[in-house]
Structure 1
């Protein structure tokens, strides 16, 4: 792979509280290439969200390095867009005004922000809902606004933490198709956290599986499915084989976490 857009080396994170220390990550190594889509999966509590928060600059590593384009990540920045499971929209602003808010904060004029926001509302399929308030939107529509807001200021990388986890199954499938369509047209680097293995395989170029806490990268599975992706691919033998490989890696960690040996698999 060419020089990594995001490079993580021997990264560890320990949380210290009154109750003692919790080692969330230990010795994580991962490279993500320019315009590559990588999904991160693993058992609950393995440190996926902690790793993404460090990449976003919302947490600091205890040891190791994390660099983007060769520069250390030392805090949040406009080079990274972040989308969480919770929509984090400002309820007193319309959908378009939520997108404009982020653009104005990045230094755009009101006129520029309005034009860019309209373009991105169209990009996520929300024409006609520009003046709607978050309370008037469905969960999937709110997440579309959040994605439009994250993309509007042209970040080099998109960090997504279970963005579709709160949606019903049908809406989730629609959002997956929307996201992969946007990514295939407007390539950018993506780190995507999910518990849904089918989602990870469908969206990604590679799926990285983490161990139990303290988390590290156990296995990286290249996803060899053709693009553009279509949801009917999920029934193909190739898709099912990739799904099974990732599931077996996670399941072996689950068995260990439950106190059973991997030999029970």
Structure 2
């Protein structure tokens, strides 16, 4: 039973007069096997919060714990997947996964078998001996997911993992992630700027407000599982997506359509034409 508890977390950057608070009094608890997405306007602290939970950054106040144990740094109870693939270019696909297993203390005799099992899970059994440079972006991200899951973390932390992919590949990765999550049954904390993606994948969505980042709203996603792309065409899906978008739009400064562009913008536009 993996339970993540974030209690009153505050985080700031800078010194003295230039110090800026980016997270203020964040409270969040996730349940076992729950898929929770974090959304919000740019600058609300989504990635900072995930980095704090991963143990990659400290914080000023509050506490973060997994199964009652305080988070004081990176740990094998949490797997992390970033938007950048962070693969070692001098190692093959299998070796990249086995490298994580070695760091986790798995015996040499088990690493190849476990690596191959997880590569098969993400559909890359035939690419185990390939080099990262030979892979597409989607394939590289599948390797990163296989590597993060290989040592059996309790929680998977994902920071906009599909943000650099084209729309078709992104959708394929969403389907893959859903299948992998159902297979492993672990807790997922997923940062994304794509509200449709969040609604499709999640059990709950946490919307962060800005200046400073805070929990603004939490949305229960009570759509039936298993899900496929047909659910995106349902009225229920559309209604949930609209509610989440409305919450985020309140924090985004938008130039009115009938407001003229600044003179410098007009000048730059004419030059570009």
Q: Could you tell me whether the CA contact under 8 Å between 1:4 and 1:31 is conserved in 2?
A: no
Pairwise CA distance, 1:112: 0.3
Pairwise CA distance, 1:18: 8.2
Alignment correspondent of 2:9? 11
Q: How does 1:190-201 map to 2 (within 5 A)?
A: 190-201=188-199
**Length-normalised TM-score, structure 1:** 0.94
Q: How does 1:200-211 map to 2 (within 5 A)?
A: 200-211=198-209
Q: How does 1:1-265 map to 2 (within 5 A)?
A: 5-17=3-15, 20-255=18-253
Deviation above 3 Å: which 4+ runs of structure 1?
A: none
Structure 2 SS opposite 1:254:
coil
Instruction: List alignment gaps of at least 5 residues for structure 1.
Output: 261-265
**Length-normalised TM-score, structure 2:** 0.91
Alignment correspondent of 1:263? none
In angstroms, what is the RMSD of aligned CA positions?
1.5
Pairwise CA distance, 1:184: 1.5
Pairwise CA distance, 1:186: 1.7
Aligned pairs, number? 256
Q: 1:127 to 1:103 in 2, by over 3 A?
A: same
Larger radius of gyration: 2
Q: Could you tell me whether the CA contact under 8 Å between 2:13 and 2:19 is conserved in 1?
A: yes
Pairwise CA distance, 1:189: 0.4
Kindly provide the CA deviation profile for residues 94-146 of structure 1, in whole angstroms up to 9, marking residues without a partner as x.
01100000001111122201000000000000021000000000000000000
Pairwise CA distance, 1:9: 1.1
Q: Could you tell me whether the CA contact under 8 Å between 2:2 and 2:187 is conserved in 1?
A: no
Instruction: List alignment gaps of at least 5 residues for structure 2.
Output: 257-273
